[in-house]
Structure 1
Amino acid sequence: MLDKLFELRSEVMKFLPSKGQHELLAAMKADNYAFETAYLVDIFASLNKLNLKLQGSHPHVFAFHDSIDAFKAKLVLWHTQTCTGNTVSFPTLTELLQDKPASGSLVETITEHLSYLITKFGRYFLELPSGKKKMLNIPQNSFQRTVEEIPKELKEEFVELVNILH
């Protein structure tokens, strides 16, 4: 929906005065409004893609974990790129800027928002300890693993389970 508002922003700005929405019109005419909205269009598109991955036809915990980790890594990459004024990861914004650099206030706004997203994703989707992370990787690619790659704890649990069954 936000992408449609962005596409029709000039028409919406013509329509607002007829409805007495002068404050909203003034907000839409603000310096960075179009740039910030373009950035939000791109962020919401990325979040929607993540949502679709998480709702796939046969989702399982390993796919969820990989998708969340990948998105968290993207956020960090985007933050690093944006700190230098590089907006290539945001196609709608990049198209709007068309070969002119992003203003300092726009870069600051975007980096602050990305920092906020990194913090929130880090809070809601915690990093697993390295041992647990290794254990999650085993079922995903079990036929590509060697015995040496299997954590000692998992081997011990397997031996214990075999002894119980016999």
Structure 2
Amino acid sequence: MAKAKKPHSIGETLIKPCLVSCAGILLGESAVSKMKQVSLSNDTVKSRIFDMSCNTKSQLLAKVKASPVFAIQLDESVDVANLSQLIVFVRYVHDQSIEEDLLFCRPLETTTQAADVMQLVEVTQFLEQRNKGDLKAAVSDEVFQCRLAFLADMFSHLNELNRKLQGVDSDIIGHRDKVNAFVSKLELWRGKFETGRSATVFPTLARISETASGVSDVLKNEVIIHLNRLLDEFQHYFPDFKSDNPMMVDNFPKEAEDIEEQFLDLVHDSAAKAVFAEKSLNAFWATMHGSYPRVAVAALTLLVAFPSTYLCESAFSSMVEIKTKSRNRLIDLESDLRCTISKVEPNIEALVKAKQMQKSH
């Protein structure tokens, strides 16, 4: 029920009646009486979900404590009851790989006032725009259409980059490479636009400009200015991405001479080269922790960092499905959320041994 993000009450109202009916058809009345003794009440289901959540959390904390390095990421959002929920994820090294999981979810005492303000501003701007009498004329203007077409193409490229930066099992070095590639593309597109070779890069603009009077010099200058500003923004938000690869031996701290020597031992290790060819970057360095601990820790410190907010965003999507309008009194989401998204499986056998059979009242 927790994995399916369903209300706890369906255990008693839906699942148990189905089980009783199936038991009667397949196994007879003796099985029906036994099935009726199984407790699936709202409180029982909530208690079992809490137990499984505690069990998986204990396993997770043990893994994090055993990890040579770890990183945390946190974000907050407002649920359907206007209650701020803080979500924290942890990324750590375990079993020769880098893993990530939900650390905890806690309700906050205050609401997200900034989000409320932004919603008010957006509505106000929309109403002001609807009251403008020249809106239709602006949309029909050829220059406006070309500007809109360019923005459509540009956001298409940005969305493609955003998709590449999403997903699990990624690392900050891979994201660094993707961002650097996009910055190089911006420089290429700027050059193509200046020389009139941008049709393949901005197809919507090319199509609209064919029906219009072409791309004017004014619009061309606006596009070039916009691309220059995008380049400035990327360089502002990612100032270190153009620097040398942080994994180069020359970039290790000068006082850490033993790391440099250990790194050179690794470079000339034929067995390590074979492992590198077979495994991902994260798995390779997690594997090397036993043989080359100091170099591996230096590498894992970079790789264990969260490259994006994808996990938090996914968790908030699950939170919306769990806490609906019909369940708006649900305050503590951690147990349900952990059972929904955690990669750590609860130890059911240990949980069952700790419990005694309870008859339904």
TM range (shorter): 0.5 to 0.7
8 Å CA contact retained: 2:139, 2:145: yes
Pair 163,91 (structure 1): closer, same or farther in 2 beyond 3 Å = closer
Assess, with a 3 A threshold, how the Cα gap between structure 1 residues 93 and 163 changes in structure 2: closer, same or farther.
closer
Query: How far does the alpha carbon of each residue in 1:45-79 deviate from its partner, in whole angstroms, 9 at most, with x for none?
Result: 11111111111232211211011001101111111
Matched, 1:26 2:137: yes
- Determine the structure 1 residue equivalent to 2:231: 118
Residue 78 of structure 1 aligns to which amino acid in structure 2? W
Q: Secondary structure at the match of 1:157?
A: helix
How far did 1:20 drift?
A: 6.5
Identify the match of residue 151 of structure 1 among 245, 249, 266. 249
| Aligned equivalent of 2:243, options 117, 129, 137 | 129
Distance 1:50 1:22 in 2: 37
Three-state SS of the structure 2 residue aligned to 1:32 is helix
Written as runs of structure 1 = structure 2, the 5 A alignment for 1:59-78 is 59-78=170-189
Return the offset for 1:158. Answer: 4.3
Distance 1:92 1:151, change over 3 A: same
Structure 2 CA distance for aligned equivalents of residues 28 and 163 of structure 1: 62
Structure with greater helix percent: 1
Distance 1:56 1:153 in 2: 29
Report Cα offsets for 1:26-52 as digits up to 9, x if no partner. Answer: 221333111110110011111111111
Which of 94, 102, 106 is equivalent to 2:215? 102
Check whether the contact 1:50–1:67 (CA below 8 A) recurs between aligned residues: yes
Partner of residue 157, structure 2: 46
Deviates more, 1:107-116 or 1:153-162: 153-162
Classify 1:153/1:90 alpha carbon distance in 2 versus 1 (closer, same or farther; 3 Å): closer
- Paired residue type of 2:182: F
TM-score (norm 2): 0.32
Partner of residue 92, structure 1: 204
What is the one-letter code of the residue matched to 1:106? Answer: L
Counterpart in the other structure of 2:44 = none
Residues 7-40 of structure 1: CA deviation (Å, up to 9, x unaligned) = xxxxxxxxxxxx7652211221333111110110
Whose strand fraction is larger, Structure 1's or Structure 2's? 2
**Cα distance in structure 1, aligned partners of 2:251 and 2:152:** 46
Greater RCO (CA < 8 Å, at least 6 residues apart): 2
Letter in 2 for 1:55: Q
Aligned equivalents of 1:98 and 1:111: distance in 2? Answer: 20
Report the CA distance shift for 1:69/1:102 in structure 2 as closer, same or farther (over 3 A).
same
**Max Rg structure:** 2
Residues 68-96 of structure 1: CA distance to partner in whole angstroms, max 9, x if unpaired?
00110111111111122332211111122
Aligned mates of 1:93, 1:119 — CA distance in 2: 23
TM-score, length of structure 1 as denominator length? 0.66
CA RMSD of aligned residues (A): 2.8
Q: Gapped runs of 5+ residues in structure 2?
A: 1-129, 264-291, 295-361
Gaps of 5+ in 1: 1-18, 136-149
